[in-house]
Structure formats: C-alpha cells, structure tokens
Amino acid sequence: MTPLHRKCLLGERLTGEVLLDCHAHIGRHADYVIPDGEPEALAAEMRRLNIRGAFLFQFAGVQTGEVAYGNNLVADACRRVPGRFLGLAMVNPLFERDVLPELERCRDLGFVGIKLINRYQGYPDDGPLLDLICGFAHEHRMPILNHSWGAPLEERLRRYPNAQFITGHWDPGRASLVREYNNLWICTCLPIAHEAFERGMRDLRPDRVLWGSDMSDLNFGCGLGPILLARVSDEIKRRVLGLNMRELLQTCGIPEPPPWPT
C-alpha cells in the first residue's frame, strides 16, 4: 500500500500534495439541480481537500446560445474567489459572427483558455469554425478543452502546435497521438473505473494525463478515488493529480494557483 493509497482509505487530507483540476463547472444546469454551486462553496470544498485551483467553465451555454451569460458567471467566480479559478471561455460555433468577439472579450476579462462542446451544440467535428477557434488558441498559446475532439484531432495538433489540446473525458484510445504530440493531454474525467485507469496508464504517457473532477456535475471524490486507489506508483499519481497541469500552465504562461494557507 502506497502513502497516497493509505491516505485515501483513511480519508486524510492530501496535505503537501499538488492538486490541480483541469475540468470543473460553475452555474446552473437546465436538466438537474446543482447543490452548493456558488463559487465560495466550491472553493471551500477545494480548500478542504487541498485542491489548489481548477480550470472553470460554464453549464449555461452547453445546449443553448447563452454562452455570454455563462462566461459572465465564470468571470464573476474568478473575481469572487481570486487566484483559485482559471476561466475557460465557451463559444458556440453555430453563432459564427459571435465566436471571435466573445473569445476576445473573455481574454480581456482574464480567461486563460477555451472550452468547446460542439457535439452537444450540433456543430460537426470537422467544421471550419473549430479551426478558427483552434487558430485563436494557437496565436495566444492557450489550452483548449473539447468534450470530444473527433477524427480531425491529429491534423489540428500538427497545424496548431502552440495550442494545448485537452480531451474533455477519459480517452486512452488516443495513446498513439499522445506519444507523438506534446500538445495533447488526456483528462481523467468520469466515467472511469479503477481498472480502466490502470489499463489506460499502461499505454498513455504518464506526463500527459490530467486529473479532471467534472465538479459541480460530480463530487471531487468521484474522480480522486479511482486515481488514489489505483495500482500505479505514487509518482505517476502525483503527476496526474497536479504536476502535469503545472507543466501545462507553465507552457502557456498561466500563473499557478498558490498553496492554501496553512
């Protein structure tokens, strides 16, 4: 039993560890209730578990055109809890004329990257607006997270090397691309089981896997447990839980959320 495995079994706080979350939501969802969804409540739970910070994006624009409203909620959360949330701007490529102005507006508000969910919005994976958005991320050396990248991913990895591409959910089938391209990162976000994580880590580069909680959709513990209890080394677990995201932030020139005060 490794030290991290033991801490998880005993329910101990992961004091002294670097935890950074690449996949967290804020706001209300149209289909179900989000309890304790205010920024302060989310930050309090992060502090309790020693999670230093998180990429944060909205629910509101997932299946509607209300991306500006949702991005405003993210900006408000970043203001109310400074230094903990790193905003990713969501856009809807169906509204073509709004895409670049919204990206520029969010960048001026301090957002550090981009969130895409074009499949939910009904826009094809090979659509030209996705290339426009990836080009924006490339120009500004931004991370860009998509719920599901689809077939054209390799071409975009090659064409936009300054953009850091993150899979929105666990996708070990991308292992061959991860070995070839340094700008592709795999998020652990659920659904994932203990065995699935262990199997995936046999093929994936351990320095290109990022822990993602899917909070506030899911509880932080749902994503932490399968990693902490997995039969892989603590060195790999530490990379996945935070050290890899630290490298990504440094690559993009994004300030890292500091440790919580003791």
Structure tokens at 122: 């009904």
Cβ atoms of 143 and 55 within 8 Å: the answer is yes
Q: How confident is the model at residue 24 (pLDDT cuts 50, 70, 90)?
A: very high
Looking at residues 174-196, what average pLDDT do you find? Answer: 90
Distance separating alpha carbons of residues 199 and 19, to the nearest angstrom: 22
Positive or negative torsion for Cα 183, 21, 64, 191: positive
Q: What is the pLDDT of residues 209-248, one digit of tens each?
A: 999 999 888 888 888 999 999 999 999 999 999 999 999 9
Q: How confident is the model at residue 64 (pLDDT cuts 50, 70, 90)?
A: confident
Q: How confident is the model at residue 33 (pLDDT cuts 50, 70, 90)?
A: low
What confidence score (pLDDT) does residue 62 get?
Answer: 81
Higher local confidence (pLDDT), 223 or 65? 223
The answer on pLDDT for 87 being more than 80 is yes
Mean pLDDT taken over the chain? 93
The answer on pLDDT for 152 being more than 90 is yes
The enclosing domain of 37 has a CATH number of 3.20.20.140
Number of structural domains in the chain:
1
Looking at residues 29-49, what average pLDDT do you find? Answer: 83
Domain around 230: 3-252
Say if 40 falls within a structural domain. Answer: yes
The answer on pLDDT for 169 being more than 90 is yes
Q: What is the pLDDT of residues 93-146, one digit of tens each?
A: 999 999 999 999 999 999 999 999 999 999 999 999 999 999 999 999 999 999
Say if 212 falls within a structural domain. Answer: yes
Say if 258 falls within a structural domain. Answer: no
Closest CA to 180 of 169, 165, 190: 165
Distance separating alpha carbons of residues 243 and 207, to the nearest angstrom: 8
Say if 200 falls within a structural domain. Answer: yes
The number of angstroms, rounded, from the C-alpha of 85 to the middle of its chain's C-alpha atoms is 11
